[in-house]
């Protein structure tokens, strides 16, 4: 098993550990209806993706 050649400072350890923290999901607005939608996901409100109609969404009346 590999062994570190030099001691890692606390700052270096904490900097490395900081990249493993939780990040909030990035939301984009839908180009058709303006709803908040995650990237690379079909809009659940209007059913469009990159300006194209992908799925039919039932109208709630």
**pLDDT tens-digit series, residues 16-55:** 999 999 989 899 999 989 999 999 999 989 999 998 898 8
pLDDT of residue 59: 67
Q: Is residue 30 part of a domain?
A: yes
Q: What is the pLDDT of residue 61?
A: 46
In a domain, 29, yes or no: yes
Q: Is residue 36 one of the residues assigned to a domain?
A: yes
Domain assignment of residue 44, yes or no: yes
How many folded domains does the chain comprise? Answer: 1
Structural domain that includes position 34: 23-49
Q: Does the global pTM surpass 0.75?
A: no
d(CA 54, CA 47): 6
């Amino acid at each position: 098993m590999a062994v570190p050649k030099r001691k890692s400072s606390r700052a270096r350890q904490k900097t490395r550990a900081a990249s493993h923290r939780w990040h909030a999901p990035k939301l984009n607005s839908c180009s058709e209806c303006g709803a908040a939608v995650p990237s690379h996901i079909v809009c659940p409100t209007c059913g469009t993706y990159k300006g194209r109609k992908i799925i039919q969404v039932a109208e709630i009346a």
